[in-house]
Structure 1
């Protein structure tokens, strides 16, 4: 593995690339103290944490990165293991243990990583995520079916629009009811994985999924856990939050009102207060 590190002038942030051989992964680190790892959702990139960065780096050494196929990282050329990429990154950066916060796909990755490497994880925060093996109930959202159809037709602009409708707006709002700045920022990030074909190439068929899947192993997690979700997210995400909170002994659950899949972007001050409060009690 090769690294290209650079220290940005005027601040304390170190940014670089990790080359795993199957693509270069972009990451940033800033702050001192215990390491807090931020893992982004599967339709945006590490910029989703911009409103958390200053608040969290005042208390922790914070690491965020773009998964392969997202942001500044290389596109994926085939299925990858998200949890294995996280493991390789932590090992090469010499991080022996961390507190991990993941949203959506990032939350699923964080759960899998915790089950596979419990000795490396001090605490876990899962946002808007379902564990691997979680069986969705009912009919899939109509917008999801439209998105898959647009993907088959190669209508990438429509794919991106529908992904924003699905996840940023959520199941119970129209676009005009959502902060336009949040939608615009998410759209800018979303265009990259859509153009890269990330979901179709990798995340619809991930490499070496955790076996047995996490949904049946949640009771094995014995570290402090905080489960978060937005009240306006898809009801199945809220049901997954209930499962996580019920199956993991001692887990705390917080539902943030008037937000959907990205509560940290919609209500950053409230989100930051909840996360830092949870971490400060550990």
Structure 2
């Protein structure tokens, strides 16, 4: 397995690469890191060249010191690794990055799977999520990492329709560990995350696109997924019962059963 850091503007990104075949990049959610893809990383390596990375201000990558674009960072990683075209598999913020890359560099994407996705240009309106964001902001100001992480878990692991005890403890523990690491390691992050306003450019996506969503996710994610299914040419939507926002962690078998055939169908 290849692993290390790749230089990008004002920093470096941690990556891991394994396997041979058509290239697939796994993009993690916000406040998480590439470990969230442990199951899929090993599974896909049997048939693909699989790359996963910690995006800027996450995991083992550099903390942002100024304005940046995640899709530019991704392009730098691919260029360094000598990868021309990829399938992008992203969850939440990872899906958001995937859409930005797909509209800015459509010729480099042979397939796109966005799970519980955000899309740049969207507005969050779900009262439950907005309340949790306020809690996260207060906790950050007070430097209360435990409260910050718990508010994050309530927003994006439990979600608006479940209590903490309704979610597998192992999933909450994994997400809490990643979030706490990011909250402490990258607390000094500066600058803006610049984006491509992909919500209003969805018609420019040329790659075959699969949208995956859990049946207990927030209204914002449901709405933006429906928008993508409507506006991305030929896009398909699959709903996974019993899953919230962290689909691949909560329901890995169901997620893999959807993802693998999609990639096999589209493989160049």
Q: State the TM-score, normalized to the length of structure 1.
A: 0.89
Q: For 2:104 and 2:204, how far apart are their aligned partners in 1?
A: 10
Q: Does the aligned pair in 2 maintain the 1:76–1:196 contact within 8 Å?
A: no
CA separation of 1:199 and 1:242: change in aligned 2, threshold 3 A = farther
SS in 2 for 1:115: helix
SS in 1 for 2:190: helix
Q: For 2:159 and 2:188, how far apart are their aligned partners in 1?
A: 19
Counterpart of 2:139 (choices 127, 141, 150) is: 150
Q: Point out the more displaced range, 178-187 or 134-143.
A: 134-143
Counterpart for residue 35 of structure 2: 47
- Report Cα offsets for 1:207-262 as digits up to 9, x if no partner: 3x22xx11111011122000011111111101111011111121110111111111
- How many residues end up aligned between the 2 structures? 265
Q: Does the aligned pair in 2 maintain the 1:36–1:61 contact within 8 Å?
A: yes
Q: For 2:179 and 2:247, how far apart are their aligned partners in 1?
A: 17
Q: State the TM-score, normalized to the length of structure 2.
A: 0.94
Note the residue ranges of structure 1 that are not aligned, 5 or more in a row: 1-12
SS in 1 for 2:193: coil
1:94 corresponds to 2:73: no
CA separation of 1:269 and 1:198: change in aligned 2, threshold 3 A = farther
Q: How does 1:1-282 map to 2 (within 5 A)?
A: 13-137=1-125, 139=127, 140-197=129-186, 201-202=190-191, 205-207=192-194, 209-210=195-196, 213-282=197-266
- Report Cα offsets for 1:88-122 as digits up to 9, x if no partner: 11011110111111111111111011111111111
Q: For 2:115 and 2:176, how far apart are their aligned partners in 1?
A: 20
Q: Does the aligned pair in 1 maintain the 2:17–2:50 contact within 8 Å?
A: yes
Note the residue ranges of structure 2 that are not aligned, 5 or more in a row: none
SS in 1 for 2:5: strand
Q: For 1:21 and 1:248, how far apart are their aligned partners in 2?
A: 31
Q: Does the aligned pair in 1 maintain the 2:25–2:86 contact within 8 Å?
A: yes
Q: Does the aligned pair in 1 maintain the 2:63–2:189 contact within 8 Å?
A: no
Q: CA deviation at 1:79?
A: 3.1
Q: Does the aligned pair in 2 maintain the 1:127–1:227 contact within 8 Å?
A: yes
Note the aligned Cα RMSD (angstroms). 1.6
- Report Cα offsets for 1:160-212 as digits up to 9, x if no partner: 1111111111111111111111111111111122113469635xx313x22xx
